[in-house]
Amino acid sequence: MEAPMRERGRPLVYEVRDLISIPEDVPALEVERGDQGIIRELVLLNDSVTAFVEIPYSTGQTRGWILVEIMPETKVLSYTLEG
């Protein structure tokens, strides 16, 4: 869940984001199997479900992104470093 934010004259808003455990080590992002990331988008393509997963630092800033296949098999497809 992201921290609530308030804009002038607008109601308090927050977004709920699902967490996912990363299925394997990604040393370039300093991610170990079982660490969690935030699902930002799910894509269904040819009977495969893929998640775009954001990996944040403890400060909330984005460390990088991991593309994780969820179905039919859970595995890391690719990753990218932020910045």
State the pLDDT confidence band at 3, using cuts at 50, 70 and 90.
very low
Residue 53: which domain range?
A: 19-81
Sheet holding 62-71, edge to edge: 19-21, 36-45, 48-56, 62-71, 75-81
- Please give the residue that has the higher pLDDT: either 1 or 63: 63
Residue 37 lies in a domain: yes
List CB contacts of 64: < 8 A, sequence separation 6 or more: 28, 29, 55, 79, 80, 81, 82
- Please give the residue that has the higher pLDDT: either 1 or 32: 32
- Residue 72: DSSP 8-state: S
Task: Please provide the average confidence, as pLDDT, over all residues in the chain.
Answer: 85
State the pLDDT confidence band at 66, using cuts at 50, 70 and 90.
very high
Residue 30 lies in a domain: yes
- What is the number of structural domains in the chain? 1
